[in-house]
A = this chain, B = another copy of it.
């Protein structure tokens, strides 16, 4: 069987992910890990992110467009994506399990979970909006 071996690189990746809350991409993590391991390979970053995700120690986020993001917080929570600056925030609100039951009643199968992403404009970007009504970034083509 496949026994997990310790690796400093994996530790560093996990550490990096726990210390930041901006839900970084593999590339961003790569840049960060490079400060400690200058010759780390991007492949190593991907390999370990996938390993950690498969072990359930981190979460993958597909925010609708752009590369995959990662989150060390595996507890059930929702995310908010600012369509103007692209940042991804955690939302401190209850995750409804009720809604899984409601959906299950409509689909005939079994529903185990759901994911939800909220889209809009973050407080910072709202503040930057010109009162004169300058146009903003396109909303993502997908919604609801």
Contact = CB atoms under 8 A, between A and B. Distances in A.
Q: Which label, helix, strand, loop or mixed, suits the secondary structure of the A interface?
A: mixed
Size range of the chain A interface in the assembly? 35 or more
A60 B108 contact: no
B114 A118 contact: yes
Interface stretch (A6-14, A24-32, A33-41, A119-127): A119-127
A64 B64 contact: no
Interface of A: 53-54, 59-62, 64-65, 76-78, 80, 82-83, 89, 91-93, 95, 99-100, 102-104, 106-126, 139, 141-144
Contact of A144 (B80, B95, B102, B106): B95
Contacts of A53: 141
